[in-house]
Amino acid sequence: MERLQKIIARAGLASRRQAEEWIREGRVTVNGTVIQKLGFQADSEKDKVKVDGRIIFQRQPHTTYAFHKPSGLITSLGDPQNRPNLGDLLKRLRKGERLFPVGRLDYNSSGLLLLSNHGDLAFRLTHPRFEVKKIYEVKVHGLLSDTELQRMRRGVKLKEGVVAAVKVRVKRKLKNKSWLEVEMHEGRYREVRRVFEAVGYTVEKLVRVRFGPIRLGSLPMGGFRRLTKDEVEALHKAVGLTGKKAS
């Protein structure tokens, strides 16, 4: 017996966090009964577990891809406003594989986005407790002072609490603009943009160039590539999944 959200995550349908949301929303049934209690346990081999009326089948082999997200794309599998989103792109890519985004990049940002059907891995990569580094290249209007950079490193107060850039450095100065490299660990909503706004600067361009040990590299805009076995093992190691078979 195991918790329902874990069964859904192991089936490759979503991360545990997403599965918990589905349970709260009443989208999950066990043997015909709607379950909305997060602590509910079931037997994945004996009980008939369904999400949105569809039965969970045997887990597919774990698969993880790197995707170079362009700006102007919603990081979700659908959008009520009919904006461009991942759903249509993944239909062409996965060919029967169930994939979902690991974390998010906001609509106007671009760069490295991981896609996976490995629920446990996705959960750990996005949970602040595991402190997985995300590195961004950021262009802002203006030239930041050493005092402002130090303030970002110490932490600025946002609505949900104090958020700090683990590392921030100026890469290049233009006439009235700056390119900076920023390292973050938490993954809060639009956190990089909001940290810069808190010290008085507007982000003009934001590109994620690294997620944990995985780098964007030369992957073209809009391009996908399946991670190598070594890269997947590195992801496992980064979140304490060593000793489990990488796939």
Catalytic residue among 106, 120, 146, 230: 106
Rounded Cα distance between 113 and 224, Å, is 10
Angle at the Cα of 106 (from 241 to 193), degrees rounded to 5? 100
Burial class of residue 116 in the structure, from the number of CB atoms within 10 Å of its CB (0-12 exposed, 13-18 middle, 19+ buried): buried
188 sits in the region (left: phi over 0; alpha: psi -120 to 50; else beta) called: beta
Structure tokens at 80: 């009520």
Does residue 192 contact residue 163 with C-beta atoms inside 8 Å? no
Is 106 in the active site? yes
Active-site residues: which are they?
106
